[in-house]
Structure 1
Amino acid sequence: MLLPLLAAFLGFVVVAGLGFALAGPSSTASAKTLKRAQSVTGRDAAREAVRRPGGAQEQRRKQIVQTLKEQDRAQKKARLSIAARLKQAGLEISVTVFWIASAGLAVVAFLIALVLRQPPLIGIGLAFAAGLGLPRWVLGFLTAGRVKKFTAAFPDALDIVVRGIKSGLPVHDSLRVIAKESPEPLAGQFNRLVESVGMGMSMDQALEKMHAEMPTSEVRFLAIVLGIQAKTGGNLAEALGNLSSVIRARKLMREKVKALAAEAVASASIIGSLPPLVALLLFITAPDYVRLLFTDPRGHILLGIGAVWMTCGILAMRKMINFKL
């Protein structure tokens, strides 16, 4: 008798469970579930409303960063152009004259190779180096020397502005004193700055033009300080005095780094110059032994491979000893 009763009870439980599952919960439970869902939905909406302004700010920040990066890339591209580099080097020649001179050097190098009865491949390589490498190297050398002179005299120019402001002179008159009393290239740059401001250009635009001709961090710092002071006010003499101290501290740090890296620079110079010097000595002492490298096609291949590896090694050593502050 227990077995049929147990089977009937289990069947009732199964049918009741299926009915509850198919019919759903009761009205009271449904009301509680709906209220709970509404509260959760409202909470999520509130959280979304709170997050939305932050998301907009984050998106705005990303757009600003992207815009600044694009502007920085455009400025770097403009500074790397031949016209900008000629201005930075202080050369009063046009881009056309520069390319004509480069082409003339290439032709002269190729003719010298032909006169020395060198293979045409070597002549083309010399022409390429003389036409593209040598003028750009000279341009970079002149630019580096000019920037170094400008940076060395820049803190003294800021001190002139500070003393002029403390004595009651306007900023424009203090800049004019720098243009008259400072050495080149500082005098020329500030003279153009004063002329640009006198012709109606704003100080920010004039400093931006000055930075294009002399792309140094010091000019950028000066532009930032003057721009912030023009918008917020404050003691300009104190701000420029602090900037002068910072620039002198940067110069001192640069000299310390240069002194610490002097041993590495000397080692790299010796290692880089050893292979050409050894080849030159062998050519002087045993010319027949080395001449095969220049007369045999296999020697040309070996010279090319050696030049590639030497270039890679020199660039690697330069990267290791080049510290930028």
Structure 2
Amino acid sequence: MDNFINQIGLYALPLSGSTLLAYGVYQLILDLRKSDQKRVLDRLTDRVRSEERKSADSILRRRYEPKTAISAALAKLSVVAWLQRALDQACIEWSAPRALLNLVTLALFSFVGLYMLQWNPIVAACIAAAILLMPLVVIHVKRKMRLNRMMNQLPDVFELMSQALRAGHSLANAIQLVGQQLPDPAGTEFAIVFQEQNLGVKIEDSLKNMADRLDLMDVRFFVTAVLIQRTTGGDLAAVLDNISAVIRDRIKLFGQVKALTAEGRLSGWVLFALPIAVFGMEMVVNPDYGRVLLEDPIGRYCLIGAGVSQLLGLAMIQKIVNIKV
């Protein structure tokens, strides 16, 4: 049975390597073709862009560029749509179908390679799963940090727009001013809205795209206020001032809640790290005692169960202390 599995791995490794090489060449050709699409988009926008707005340009190029058959098929999957939204929210210049294909290919290739090196199949599968999941964790962390920065910037955004409207500027000019004056993420997101208008998209649709892209309640309030004002009329500057004041109060309250729940969050991380630290010390002080958990089949199952329990406990504690404001 082992010889049969080894023969399968022996044939699978060259096949995986050749597949990975062919996929890399395909992506290289695709990148070379995209340079022409970039020049076309630059001519359409007809303006010189600064380094701070490259992320906005990349999102627009990714949205309007033609898709391959594989990308079009993968784009219909809900997980790909979720990943694309997370990439946009994290301002990472990746295409979700491409990123998913790259991660899955790398994970499979890593598993086959480790198995051919006589690694334990369970360990090889865990490493391959970690290779697949770690980039997703990084994307989630960057997304969360960027959305928090966006939420903290919103009061300044609305105050700047309110002042611009009172000075006689149009809504489009106020959006352009925010895109030019404020740093990422607010500047980048509003620059995308302004550039979409230059490409012929209605301002209402551009604002709805931003609300869907960011998925922040405060941004949806702003978009709803703008849509109502453009339909029924009213003082948009005063509405923006009110929204800005409400957001500032909510940010202040959120900071107080975060300070009050800091002890609970720290307790969760301590309880999560303590068994790992104790096991590491045990492997240093008395390796024979700790090696039983690694070598004995029952010990390995105990480690897996303990790891799953630790993750569930950490998730439950974080859920308890994560109070919505």
Q: Same fold (TM over 0.5)?
A: yes
Per the alignment, do residues 277 and 160 of structure 1 end up closer, same or farther by CA in structure 2, a change over 3 Å counting? same
- In 2: Cα distance, 1:116 partner to 1:280 partner: 26
Give the Å deviation of 1:256.
Answer: 0.9
Match of 1:209 in 2: 209
**Secondary structure at the residue paired with 2:92?**
coil
State the structure with more CA Rg.
Answer: 1
Match of 2:228 in 1: 228
Match of 1:32 in 2: none
**Secondary structure at the residue paired with 2:169?**
coil
Structure 1, gaps ≥5 residues long: 1-76
Deviations 1:165-187 (A, max 9, x none): 11111111111111111101211
Give the Å deviation of 1:117.
Answer: 6.4
Match of 2:312 in 1: 312
Alignment of 1:1-325 (within 5 A): 81-103=82-104, 105-107=106-108, 110=111, 118-131=119-132, 133-325=133-325
Per the alignment, do residues 154 and 130 of structure 1 end up closer, same or farther by CA in structure 2, a change over 3 Å counting? same
- In 1: Cα distance, 2:107 partner to 2:318 partner: 27
**Secondary structure at the residue paired with 1:81?**
helix
- In 2: Cα distance, 1:128 partner to 1:113 partner: 13
Match of 1:9 in 2: none
Give the Å deviation of 1:204.
Answer: 2.5
Per the alignment, do residues 199 and 88 of structure 1 end up closer, same or farther by CA in structure 2, a change over 3 Å counting? same
Q: Is contact 2:283–2:290 with CA below 8 Å preserved after alignment? A: yes
Give the Å deviation of 1:107.
Answer: 4.9
Per the alignment, do residues 78 and 227 of structure 1 end up closer, same or farther by CA in structure 2, a change over 3 Å counting? farther
- In 1: Cα distance, 2:289 partner to 2:114 partner: 21
- In 2: Cα distance, 1:267 partner to 1:212 partner: 35
Give the Å deviation of 1:271.
Answer: 1.2
Q: Is contact 2:90–2:146 with CA below 8 Å preserved after alignment? A: yes
**Secondary structure at the residue paired with 1:253?**
helix
- In 2: Cα distance, 1:173 partner to 1:202 partner: 14
- Corresponding letter in the other structure for 1:82: L
Q: Is contact 1:79–1:212 with CA below 8 Å preserved after alignment? A: no
TM value normalised by structure 1: 0.70
Per the alignment, do residues 79 and 130 of structure 1 end up closer, same or farther by CA in structure 2, a change over 3 Å counting? closer
Deviations 1:94-153 (A, max 9, x none): 22431244235525764796699652212212211321x212101101111211222222
Q: Is contact 1:207–1:219 with CA below 8 Å preserved after alignment? A: no
- In 1: Cα distance, 2:224 partner to 2:305 partner: 49
- In 1: Cα distance, 2:309 partner to 2:111 partner: 24
RMSD: 2.3
- Corresponding letter in the other structure for 2:83: I
Per the alignment, do residues 117 and 283 of structure 1 end up closer, same or farther by CA in structure 2, a change over 3 Å counting? farther
**Secondary structure at the residue paired with 2:252?**
helix
Deviations 1:20-62 (A, max 9, x none): xxxxxxxxxxxxxxxxxxxxxxxxxxxxxxxxxxxxxxxxxxx
TM value normalised by structure 2: 0.70
Q: Percent identity?
A: 26
Q: Is contact 2:272–2:311 with CA below 8 Å preserved after alignment? A: no
- In 2: Cα distance, 1:175 partner to 1:269 partner: 42
- Corresponding letter in the other structure for 1:276: I
Q: Is contact 1:180–1:187 with CA below 8 Å preserved after alignment? A: yes
- In 1: Cα distance, 2:286 partner to 2:116 partner: 23
Deviations 1:79-98 (A, max 9, x none): 96112211111111222431
Match of 1:56 in 2: none
Q: Is contact 1:154–1:186 with CA below 8 Å preserved after alignment? A: yes
Alignment length (residue pairs): 248
